[in-house]
Structure 1
Amino acid sequence: MKLKIAFCLSLLWAEFAFGLEEDSAQPVYIEANSAYYDKKIDQSTYTGNVVLVQGSLHLQADKLVAYSPGGKVEKVVAYGNPVRFRQQPKPGAEEIRGQSKQAEYYMEKKYIVLIGEAVVWQGKNEYTSDRIEYDQINDIVKAGEASSDAKRVKIILHPKTESSPPPKKQ
């Protein structure tokens, strides 16, 4: 059963993680009520109704911190009540939506971590856990915590029906 759950999660995340191929080549737009940059530690902090847009990726947070040692963004951490995001995974596919209390993205490692009441939706399918991690390079998804007091991982997968429109050809 665990293998089946991991497989189902990997199908969702394989689409989610990369978004549209051209997204990573698009400029990043950030709006916030305030911005602060500390050159000594190469860290930018944006607070108050933060909105980040890059291609089809839209993220909303209360606070966003970008860590840029040497001027290159290494890690971005978003905080919110909750952090919300949406992204088009590929042309013709249903949009991925999600939320969590904290979201971390490690640029070089292509590693995403959703922490605290994490939920990811695609269409009617829903994935819930206190922590969801995705290693894009190795295509590994990990949901839940190892501790016995952690909340259980919950997954709702709806079958594709005959009335579902076929995927659009590229």
Structure 2
Amino acid sequence: MSPDRRRLIPFLALLAGVFLASAQGAVAPTDAGLGKGPIHISADSLAAQNKPQQQAVYTGKVVMTQGDIVIHAEKLTIDARQGKVEVATAVGSPVTFTMSSAQRHGYGNTLVYRPGSGEIVLTGNAHLWQGPNEVSGQQVIYHLDDQRTSVSAAPGGRVQSVFYPGTVKTASSPGGKP
């Protein structure tokens, strides 16, 4: 193994550990399965660098799993600074994700996860479902900490929603209805 590769292994281990720690701090107690446990990433290839910034780029049939969050993409880029993950960006046609404990799944052309703010941002033909309920637009932002969602349309476009009353159970609502 080359000296460069030997130096890269501790960086990748640190990067995965920091990503895990950052994600755990951004998750609400009601989303018990989100952001818990180790991060597993499989891909066709990995390129990583430690200078000038810490970055790992996974390409080809990328699957990232942490707890009950599963992301499928063609490319996943993880950027860190001083050992702390700032952003994870997934790109695909489309990028898909599921969060089974929160009954959510969605897709978009790009998914950006910011551990510090607990935001998942889907951009480009973005769709988000909770159970059978759906919102869609050019961009969907989902906040893990308080489960807020905001949707914006492309210029000249409109946001679309379909809701089925009484279909989604939440931990905070009496009788299990939102």
Fold match by TM threshold 0.5: yes
Report the counterpart of residue 62 of structure 2 in structure 1: 50
How many angstroms does 1:138 deviate by? 6.5
Provide TM-score, normalisation by structure 2: 0.71
Q: Does 1:107 align with 2:115?
A: yes
Q: Is the 8 A contact 1:20 1:88 kept in 2?
A: no
Q: Is the 8 A contact 2:33 2:101 kept in 1?
A: no
Count residues in correspondence: 141
Report the counterpart of residue 83 of structure 1 in structure 2: 95
**Stretches of structure 1 lacking an aligned partner (at least 5 in a row):** 1-16
2:68 and 2:80 mapped to 1: Cα distance? 23
Q: Is the 8 A contact 1:64 1:79 kept in 2?
A: yes
Runs (4 or more) in structure 1 with deviation over 6 Å come to: none
Query: For each residue in 1:126-164, what CA deviation from the matched residue of structure 2 results, as whole angstroms up to 9, or x when unmatched?
Result: 11111012344576532114x742x21100001237xxx
Of structures 1 and 2, the one scoring higher in RCO (CA 8 A, sep 6+) is 1
Provide TM-score, normalisation by structure 1: 0.74
Q: Does 1:122 align with 2:130?
A: yes
Higher strand share: 2
Report the counterpart of residue 158 of structure 1 in structure 2: 164
Q: What amino acid maps onto 2:77 in structure 1?
A: V
Identity of paired residues, percent? 30
Report the counterpart of residue 61 of structure 1 in structure 2: 73
Q: 2:31 aligns with which of 4, 20, 25?
A: 20
RMSD: 2.2
Report the counterpart of residue 35 of structure 1 in structure 2: 46
1:59 and 1:69 mapped to 2: Cα distance? 23
1:37 and 1:20 mapped to 2: Cα distance? 31
**Stretches of structure 2 lacking an aligned partner (at least 5 in a row):** 1-26, 168-174
Q: Is the 8 A contact 2:91 2:109 kept in 1?
A: yes
